[in-house]
Amino acid sequence: MNAVPGHKTTSSEGRFQLLVDAVTDYAIYMLDPTGVVVSWNPGAQRFKGYVEGEIIGSHFSRFYTDEDRATELPRRALETAAREGKFEAEGWRVRKDGTRFWAHVVIDPIRSPHGELLGYAKITRDLTERKLAQEALKESEERFRLLVQGVTDYALYMLDPQGHVTNWNPGAQRIKGYAESEILGKHFSQFYTDEDRATELPRRALETAAREGKFEAEGWRVRKDGTRFWANVVIDPIRNDRGELIGYAKITRDITERRATQEALEAAQLALFQAQKMEAVGQLTGGVAHDFNNLLTIIVNNLDLLTRNARDPRDVKLIESAQRAAERGAKLTQQLLAFSRRQPLQPEAHNPNTLIEGFESVLRRACGEMIRLQLSLSQRTRWVSVDAPQFESALLNLIVNARDAMPDGGSIKIVTGNTVLGEQDAASSNLPPGQYVSITVQDTGVGMTPDIVDRVFEPFFTTKEIGKGTGLGLSQVYGFVTQSGGAIRIDSTPGQGTKVTMLLPAQENGDETSDEEDETERPARDSAGTVLIVEDEPAVLEVASDIFDSLGYDVVTATDANGALEVLEGNPSIDVLFSDVIMPNGMNGVELSRRAREMRPDLKILLASGYPMSALPSDGLGTGVSFISKPYRWTELADKLRALRTGA
């Protein structure tokens, strides 16, 4: 059998045609060199809507949009394919019914073995669904980007798996202070405080988020300018389709203002609870005091009746002892009534400076030998309406408490002044806003912890040893101040002392103590110096203390020479020694003077004695020592002191 010429080629072309006709997902067709369609497969018919008889002989440009034809894109596509061997692009194409689809197009030139252009092979694929999906994704991403960029109340940003910032929204810039260019690539730990970085909180936060799917916390964070803000932080891990960690989403909100408001609310609730508690305790103690007074009335009257009929000295002594105990019980009930604000007050307009100055000698004696009392009284302090004896009692209680808080010595300062309470300060003190007078007693003692401060005004609460206090002193102060329309504040730090301030309403019609316009403070009344008085007779010691006090001296006392030397050694502020010559325990005043001058060569010394001065041994005392005879008067004492200080 002779082979049919060209049979193999025809068979190959047939198979290729069958292949092309079987493809329905691609439009595969041929163009002549001018762009006219010369073949058409079922895929082209499905995409474009034309059957083969409708399109063969038509120019392929009819598939292009009006916009593309206006730019001669079909012609340029063929030229590119002929020149470069291929044209590939994506764009909108038009179906027979006028609808558009997104097409991926490849045009290849077809040449003869001699290189002559025979036409073009054109393959088109409908990618409309993919295009729409991409555009939907792009639109979604754009909406999300606009959402993130539009948020300014939250810091929204991304971290890479190591914690470096990869993007930054305007809220992050507003809250933290960094522009995007300043922070991208930096580690997010720089927003944390030094304390948190020291405990590796940033690292632990990322580990928690990766392990548990979320990290949420509140804490202090640091802005670019170094200021701190209280932040609510949420960190979520971001994983790809394979579950691999590719970074973190971090959301931070500045809640400093909310935290401050919450703390203020809690403080107000605590103050209200404290006030309600004190009111309840006050009602209880008032009732107890009332009943106790009734019992004391019976006891006291029965003791009086027994006194009338008592003849035996022993019986009289026992009755008198019982009467003294009853009197002490009556004083305790007065303190309880003061706390419960049921004591009968007789308020009158007073200048607090005048009350304090008139009571100063008692306050100084209450301080004892190792405590230095200073007064710093504002010259323009307004008047207050108070019961003067109760005011003095309250002030004395504060001084005694301050003294007991300084077993090793120290100083107490009484400060007065005018103050104005605004809405916030007044609310925290449960007072109406307005003008007030502050009387502050400040010490350098051991201070108190917050839990003790919360309880100091409760009746019978005391930190002193058994037998050292009733626990009613500060209760009396609290009752007096609140019954007078004021409030009391305590600021105390362990190891740094305590400051107690009584706030009393200022009187509108009260005269001020000075016409000067400035509110300068009167210097503490210690400008005359500090004197150490050494006297073994209590009555004489009290008189001498009153005289020196009236002369403006701070007074420290001792009852013998050995005690005086201990005081001198521990108190460098003493500049005058006033001593009796004849004293017990072996060392007299002259010997004390010699020892004192060895310790303090500049010390001024004044010796008092009932013996003639010529009979007293004064050898070795040197200058700066003088004598005064007993009995002496304060004018003589003042002259002697003046002469000592001036060297006359």
pLDDT, tens digit, 9 for 90 and up, residues 571-600 = 888 888 998 887 766 788 888 888 888 888
pLDDT of residue 342: 44
Q: How far apart are CA 511 and CA 381, in angstroms?
A: 9
Burial 428-444 (b: 16+ CB within 10 A, else e): ebebeeeebbbbbbbbb
Q: Locate tokens 């009968």: which residue?
A: 344
Helix (H) or strand (E) holding 182: helix 180-183
Q: For residue 512, is pLDDT > 50?
A: no
User: What is the pLDDT of the chain when averaged over all its residues?
Assistant: 77
Predicted TM-score of the model (pTM): 0.36
Burial 495-511 (b: 16+ CB within 10 A, else e): eebbbbbbbbbbbeebe
Question: What would the two tokens of residue 462 be?
Answer: 């005391």
Q: For residue 335, is pLDDT > 70?
A: no
Least confident window among 160-169, 249-258, 446-455: 446-455
CA 498 centroid distance within chain = 20
List phi, psi (to 5°) of 127.
-110, 25
Q: How far apart are CA 627 and CA 607, in angstroms?
A: 5
pLDDT of residue 158: 84
Mean pLDDT of 144-161: 70
Handedness of CA 593, 598, 601, 603 (dihedral sign): negative
pLDDT, tens digit, 9 for 90 and up, residues 595-647 = 888 888 888 888 886 544 544 555 555 667 888 776 566 667 788 888 887 76
CA 158 centroid distance within chain = 31
- DSSP H helical ranges for 310-387: 313-339, 352-358, 360-367
pLDDT of residue 340: 44
Instruction: Give the CA diameter of the chain.
Output: 175
